[in-house]
């Protein structure tokens, strides 16, 4: 089972994510555009469930070692639900502007909540385990994502989504494996 999870996390999910993102410019478009405007709707939904599964694998390796696992686990589930709801709503601003706005707001809310939960999880783990290097790694992941994000006039693009989508589950899995 562990081999399947590692294979999924380090190979299957990243390859599918990169394949899906390769259908448009990584810098000028985002995955919502690919999934809705370019008629890859089913692939977008599959990718979102694949992303949630990758995060679940990453979180499962370190959440059980966390002091505040119940509260953080609840917030993680809430973030996953918000993310999946945002993906199920079509992002077609010219056709459904209110639904497109709701899609964007839900996706930002889930992403920012998830990023905050990861910081809280690492800080909670830090109370029991010496994980200084992982604090630096988390800072680097967030710093790189912010640089990519700000590179294109502070807009979310596929490069940010792909980077965070692949890097965060692997980070969480390696964090849990080192404790």
Q: What local confidence, expressed as pLDDT, does residue 82 receive?
A: 94
Q: What local confidence, expressed as pLDDT, does residue 12 receive?
A: 96
pTM of the predicted protein model: 0.87
Q: What local confidence, expressed as pLDDT, does residue 121 receive?
A: 86
3-state helix, strand, coil in the chain (%, to 5): 80, 0, 20
Q: What local confidence, expressed as pLDDT, does residue 132 receive?
A: 72
Rounded to 5°, the CA angle 59-60-61 comes to: 90
Q: What local confidence, expressed as pLDDT, does residue 108 receive?
A: 85
Q: What local confidence, expressed as pLDDT, does residue 166 receive?
A: 92
Query: Where exactly are the structural domains of the chain?
Result: 2-178
pLDDT, mean over the chain: 86
Residues 94-128 have pLDDT tens digits of 899 999 999 988 988 898 898 889 888 888 887 77
List phi, psi (to 5°) of 116. Answer: -70, -40
User: Which residues of the chain are under the pLDDT cut of 70?
Assistant: 148-155, 179
CA 159/CA 74 separation, integer angstroms: 28
């Amino acid at each position: 089972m562990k081999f399947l999870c590692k294979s999924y996390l380090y190979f299957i999910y990243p390859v599918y994510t990169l394949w899906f993102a390769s259908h448009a410019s990584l810098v000028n478009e985002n995955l919502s555009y690919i999934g809705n405007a370019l008629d890859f709707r089913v692939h977008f939904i599959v990718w979102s469930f694949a992303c949630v599964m990758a995060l679940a694998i990453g979180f499962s390796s370190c959440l059980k070692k966390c002091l505040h696992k119940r509260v953080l686990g609840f917030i993680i589930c809430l973030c996953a639900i918000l993310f999946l709801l945002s993906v199920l709503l079509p992002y077609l601003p010219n056709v459904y502007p209110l639904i497109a706005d709701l899609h964007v707001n839900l996706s930002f809310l889930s992403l920012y909540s998830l990023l905050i939960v990861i910081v809280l999880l690492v800080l909670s783990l830090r109370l029991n385990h010496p994980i200084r290097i992982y604090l630096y790694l988390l800072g680097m992941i967030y710093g790189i994502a912010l640089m990519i994000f700000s590179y294109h006039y502070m807009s979310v693009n596929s490069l940010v989504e792909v980077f965070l989508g692949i890097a965060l589950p692997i980070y969480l899995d390696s964090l849990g494996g080192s404790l």
